[in-house]
């Protein structure tokens, strides 16, 4: 088999049979690039660092909060009573658990196992004792669910979950990270990858038209695939911000259409970065921040965990309702 460089053809050297052409190969790669599902994989792990961060509350604040039973606190040391010496409030997470919630709403919930408690649990070798200890730890937290059953006793940071149309990774019991890849037309990708150099060679009218077209293409994808971005009304804010986007300069050192598009892409990609988009009216909450209340992430009865191979090629689904 040999290639005909002048014609862009690959033929069988013995029979002369045409194997493929350069255009066919290019078309195939265009088809691959336009696939709506892309392989993703990420590390899952247990936090093994410090037990607490630097935040703690005074004894007077501790007494005030204890009346409200508003948060979980830990004494500074075993024999230092919090009512006299204060307590730690910045409790770090070791890993998470998934609970079946037995309240009126039902469904499932994600909650934390504090870092200090994880070490205690890791020494439990009996499954029953392990689950009982988990229930005891969670019940001691005033903000945790009151009525529950432990269904997944160990969930690591980075675990992939699907709940309805939402695809996300658990960063903590309160924080989701986007796990959907944004797919744009090849023509848009080429312009963006080239830092819009080709676009800057065109006249101003064409520049403006193309930048608005890219923004609209992003909106169409977000409307179709990014259900998670209804949190904090991000999808609505992107639509509401279009009029402000149109009014921006195409390129420039300060706020411009080009810079806003790059920020939006960073806020939408898998493992999204937090992006401030005040230029188009986002306020103080950055795009990509999916934080819920101290009660933890709530999941529906259709939610499932996806366990991925290191390459992302093989998946195993675990439906919570079957546990």
Q: Dump pLDDT digits (tens) for 229-269.
A: 999 999 999 999 999 999 999 998 888 999 999 999 999 98
The model's pLDDT over 189-199, given as tens digits with 9 standing for 90+, comes to: 889 999 999 99
User: Above 50 in pLDDT, residue 92?
Assistant: yes
pLDDT for res 1 = 44
Angle between helices 204-225 and 257-268 (to 10 degrees): 20
User: Above 50 in pLDDT, residue 44?
Assistant: yes
More confident residue, 68 or 236: 236
> Residue 269 and residue 184: Cα distance in Å, rounded?
12
> Residue 271 and residue 267: Cα distance in Å, rounded?
9
Distances (CA, A) of 47 to 39, 279, 310: 26, 36, 20
Cβ atoms of 276 and 283 closer than 8 Å: no
> Residue 115 and residue 120: Cα distance in Å, rounded?
9
The model's pLDDT over 95-107, given as tens digits with 9 standing for 90+, comes to: 999 999 998 889 9
Pick from 126-130, 209-213, 216-220: least confident: 126-130
> Residue 23 and residue 42: Cα distance in Å, rounded?
35
Cβ atoms of 145 and 101 closer than 8 Å: yes
What is the phi/psi pair of residue 186, to 5°? -60, -40
Average pLDDT over residues 147-173: 94
User: Above 80 in pLDDT, residue 319?
Assistant: yes
The model's pLDDT over 268-298, given as tens digits with 9 standing for 90+, comes to: 988 768 999 999 999 889 999 998 888 899 9
> Residue 184 and residue 220: Cα distance in Å, rounded?
10
User: Which residue is associated with the tokens 């410090």?
Assistant: 50
What is the phi/psi pair of residue 113, to 5°? -110, 115
DSSP-derived letter for residue 79 is: T
From 256, 178, 265, 252, select the one nearest 219 (Cα to Cα).
Answer: 265
Structure tokens at 214: 């890219």
Number of other residues whose CB lies within 10 A of the CB of residue 214: 23
Judged by DSSP in three states, 1 sits in coil
């Amino acid at each position: 088999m040999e290639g005909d460089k002048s014609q862009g053809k690959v033929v069988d050297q013995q029979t002369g049979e045409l194997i493929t052409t350069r255009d066919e190969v290019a078309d195939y790669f265009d088809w691959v690039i336009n696939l709506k599902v892309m392989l993703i994989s990420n590390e899952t792990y247990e936090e093994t660092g410090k037990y607490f961060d630097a935040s703690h509350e005074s004894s007077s604040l501790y007494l005030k909060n204890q009346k409200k039973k508003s948060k979980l606190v830990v004494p500074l040391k075993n024999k230092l009573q919090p009512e006299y010496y204060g307590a730690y409030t910045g409790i770090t997470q070791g890993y998470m658990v998934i609970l079946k919630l037995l309240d009126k709403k039902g469904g499932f919930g994600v909650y934390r196992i504090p870092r200090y408690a994880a070490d205690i649990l890791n020494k439990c070798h009996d499954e029953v004792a392990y689950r009982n200890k988990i229930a005891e730890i969670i019940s001691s937290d005033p903000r945790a669910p009151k009525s529950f059953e432990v269904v997944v006793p160990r969930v690591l940071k980075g675990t992939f979950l699907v709940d309805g149309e939402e695809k996300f990774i658990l960063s903590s019991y309160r924080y989701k990270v986007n796990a959907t890849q944004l797919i744009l037309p090849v023509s848009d990708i080429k312009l963006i990858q080239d830092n819009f150099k080709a676009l800057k060679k065109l006249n101003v009218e064409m520049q403006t038209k193309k930048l608005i077209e890219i923004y609209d293409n992003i909106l169409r994808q977000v409307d179709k695939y990014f259900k998670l971005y209804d949190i904090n009304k991000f999808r609505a804010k992107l639509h509401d911000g279009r009029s402000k986007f149109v009014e921006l300069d195409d390129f420039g050192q300060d706020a411009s259409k080009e810079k806003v598009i790059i920020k939006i892409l960073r806020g939408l990609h898998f493992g999204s970065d937090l992006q401030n988009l005040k230029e188009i009216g986002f306020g103080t909450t950055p795009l990509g921040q999916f934080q819920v209340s101290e009660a933890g992430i709530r999941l529906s009865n259709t939610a499932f965990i996806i366990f991925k191979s290191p390459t992302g090629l093989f998946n195993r689904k675990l439906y919570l309702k079957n546990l």
